[in-house]
Amino acid sequence: MKVTIVGTGYVGLVTGACLAEIGNDVFCVDVDARKIDILNSGGVPIHEPGLQEMLRRCRAAGRIQFSTDVKASVEHGDIQFIAVGTPPDEDGSADLQYVLAAARNIGRYSNGFKVIVDKSTVPVGTALQVKRVVDEELKARGLEGADKHGFSVVSNPEFLKEGAAVDDFMRPDRIVIGIDDDQAGNRAREMMKRLYAPFNRNHERTLYMDVRSAEFTKYAANAMLATRISFMNDLSNLADVVNADIESVRRGIGSDPRIGYHFLYAGCGYGGSCFPKDVQALVQTARENGHRLRILEAVEEVNDAQKEVLVNKIVKRMGEDLRGRTFAVWGLAFKPNTDDMREASSRRLIASLLERGATVRAYDPVAMQEAQRVFALDLADRKSDMDRLHFVNTQQEALTGSDALVIVTEWKEFKSPDFGHLKSELKMPVIFDGRNLYEPETMAELGIDYFAIGRPHVELDGNGSRQ
C-alpha cells in the first residue's frame, strides 16, 4: 500500500520504517530540512534501538523515501499518517497547530480518496477539527467535501515505548482504531484492516471503536501508567519516614496478579515526551469541560515534587552550601535506550546542584550530544553555572575528582560497576541512587554510604552487623 507519514520524530520514523519493513511504499515528509538531509544521507536524527538498521534495509529496497515536498507526499499516500508534535500549550492543553497544518496541506493537495490517520497524541475532538480543516481546503478548491471528494479521518494512537519502539510496533499488544460509522468510514476501515493485516496473523489485535473513544484511550493509558509511578513514588517517601523498604513493598503488592509489577518502581520522577504532557492535557481537557480529574492533578504534583527528592537527600547529607563540592552524575536521558532529554529528571537535579555552587561531571551512554544542547538552553542566562557543568566521555571519568556519585538513569552498564574502583576514585564513598540499582546492605558491607529512594539507609558497626 502507498503510505505517507507526516513528521519524522519518534512516532513518525518508527511507523514509517515498520510499515516499509513489511512491504509498503512509504513516503516520509517533514518541514525540517535538516532532519531530511540526515535521513537521506543514511543517518537517523534520534536514537532508537534497531531503527537505523531497519531504515537501511528499507532504503536499499526502495520502500521508503524522505522529502520536504508536501505536495508530492499528499499525492503519494492513500493513507496519510499525521505524526507531528503536540507540545503542551501555556495552560497545559495540547497545541494542535502542527496537526491542523498537516491536515490543511492534505486538503490543499488531495488527489483522491484519503484515509487521514491521527497518529499524534491528540485530545478528544481533534478528528472533528481535522475534518473541518480538510473540508475548508477542499471547498476552497471548488470540491464538495468529505462525502463527495472522499476522505475519512481515523484515530490510530501509538503505544510505543521509547527504547523499545520498533519491537512494540512490530509485535503490538493492541492496535486501536477509531473510525466513523459511515460510507467513507467503512472504506477507511477496510484500508486500515488491510494495512495492519500482517500484525494480526497469529490473533486479532485490532480494537475498533468510535473516534472520540480512541482519542481518549491514548491519554487514559498514559495517565494510568503515570499514576502507578507517582503512587509508588509517594509511598517511597513515606517508606523513608517509617523506615520501610519500598522494594519489599513493591514485590509484595506486585505479586498480586490484579496489580502486577509493571511501572511500580520508585525513582526520581518520570519524564519524556508523553507522560508529563499527556497528564497535563487530560487534566486541561477536564477543566475545559467543567470537570476535575483530582487523581491526575495529584499525579502531576507528586511527580514534580519527586524530582527534588535526590537533591533533598544530597543537601541533608552534605549541606545546603555545595560550593567546592563535585558530583558525578550517571545518566541524563529520561530513561535508558534513548537520547530523549524532554522533562528528564537530570535537568532539575543538575540545575539545583549548580544553583548551590556545586560542580557536576555528567555522563550518559547515548544522550551526551542532546544533553549539551538542552543544558546550553536551560542555562543560557547562567554562564557561571554552565562553566561548572562538564560532560565527560565515560562513567569512570565522571567519578574522577568527584565527592559523590548521583545515579539518575538506570542504564544497564551502571548496574554492576567496579565498586572498588568507584571507592578509590570518589573523595567520599557516597552514592545517591535515584533508581534503586543496588542493595543497601551490600553497599554498607562495601563501606559505601548509600542513599536510595524509599529504602533504609544501612550502617554497619565494626563487626559487620547492622546497626
Distance (Å, whole) CA 217 – CA 121: 10
Contact 176, 200 (CB under 8 A): no
Residue 241's contacts (CB-CB under 8 Å, 6 or more residues apart) are none
The answer on whether 344 is annotated among ligand-binding residues is no
Q: What is the DSSP letter of 2?
A: E
Q: Grid coordinates in use for 298?
A: 495529584
Distance (Å, whole) CA 124 – CA 128: 9
The answer on whether 427 is annotated among ligand-binding residues is no
124: left (phi over 0), alpha (psi -120 to 50) or beta: beta
Cell 547529607 belongs to residue: 317
The answer on whether 334 is annotated among ligand-binding residues is no
The answer on whether 114 is annotated among ligand-binding residues is no
Residue 369 exposure: Cα atoms within 13 Å on the Cβ side: 6
The answer on whether 454 is annotated among ligand-binding residues is no
The answer on whether 71 is annotated among ligand-binding residues is no
The answer on whether 265 is annotated among ligand-binding residues is yes
The answer on whether 162 is annotated among ligand-binding residues is yes
The answer on whether 342 is annotated among ligand-binding residues is yes
The answer on whether 263 is annotated among ligand-binding residues is yes
Q: Grid coordinates in use for 464?
A: 559487620
The answer on whether 218 is annotated among ligand-binding residues is yes
Q: 26: helix, coil or strand?
A: strand
The answer on whether 400 is annotated among ligand-binding residues is no
Active site residue 274: yes
Phi, psi of 336 (to 5 degrees): -70, 160
- Strand-pairing partners, residue 208, are 177
Query: What's the N-to-C CA distance of the chain in angstroms?
Result: 68
Indicate which residue of 18, 28, 268, 274 is catalytic: 274
The answer on whether 35 is annotated among ligand-binding residues is yes
The answer on whether 264 is annotated among ligand-binding residues is yes
The answer on whether 98 is annotated among ligand-binding residues is no
C-alpha to C-alpha distances, 456 to 1, 325, 435, 440, 453, nearest whole angstrom: 57, 25, 14, 7, 9
Binding site as annotated, residues for NAD(+): 30, 35, 86, 121, 162, 277, 342
Binding site as annotated, residues: 30, 35, 86, 121, 159-162, 218, 263-267, 271, 277, 335, 342
Binding site as annotated, residues for substrate: 159-162, 218, 263-267, 271, 335
- Residues involved in catalysis: 274
